[in-house]
């Protein structure tokens, strides 16, 4: 069992930056692939970014590539999402996710989720 708690959301103007953090407790953090998803009002939840167990590999949705950076600190049981050059279309609830295998892929749903943190980008 892994318990995930996100923090760092808020209101920012377009072009600004935010850094989201996800603190994990429970079983060995480094055993889990981690990722971030988001859900905007009236839309389906979508993949944002993922990072491997060691932190050596990362993947991004095309919509955030070059603007967002995912990282993890296995000693502190945290995963972060640095979001730069934010756009109004980035407005959503952002969720941290964990899975012992991988967090994204066709038909794949991560095993563990946080409660979400709201990010609002004003134009």
Nearest to 79 by CA among 66, 63, 95, 61: 95
What is the predicted pLDDT for the residue at 89? 97
DSSP codes joined into one string, 51-118: E-SSSS-EEE-TTTTTTEEEEEETTTTEEEEEE-S--GGG-EEEEEEEESS-S-STT---SEE---EE
For residues 43 and 54, what is the distance between their CA atoms, to the nearest angstrom? Answer: 32
Please tell me the predicted confidence (pLDDT) of residue 26: 74
Residue 87 has pLDDT above 80, yes or no: yes
Is 123 a residue whose pLDDT tops 80? Answer: yes
Q: What pLDDT digit, counting tens, does each position of 93-118 carry?
A: 999 999 999 998 888 899 999 999 99
Q: Are the CB atoms for 98 and 112 separated by under 8 Å?
A: yes
pLDDT of residue 5: 97
Closest among 14, 123, 105, 109 to 67, alpha carbons compared: 14
pLDDT of residue 66: 98
The per-residue pLDDT for 1 is 83
pLDDT in tens, 48-84: 999 999 999 999 999 999 999 999 999 999 999 999 9
Query: Contact at 8 Å (CB) between 78 and 72?
Result: yes
């Amino acid at each position: 069992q892994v318990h995930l708690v996100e923090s760092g959301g808020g209101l920012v103007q377009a072009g600004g930056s935010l850094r989201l953090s996800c603190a994990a407790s429970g079983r060995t953090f480094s055993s889990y692939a981690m990722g971030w998803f988001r859900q905007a009002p009236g839309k389906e939840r979508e993949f944002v970014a993922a990072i491997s167990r060691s932190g050596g590999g990362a993947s991004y949705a095309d919509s955030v590539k070059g603007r967002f950076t995912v990282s993890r600190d296995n000693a502190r049981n945290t995963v972060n999402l640095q979001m730069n050059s934010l756009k109004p279309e980035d407005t959503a609830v952002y969720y941290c996710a964990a899975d012992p295998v991988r967090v994204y892929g066709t038909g794949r749903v991560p095993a563990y989720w946080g409660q979400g943190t709201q990010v609002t980008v004003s134009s």
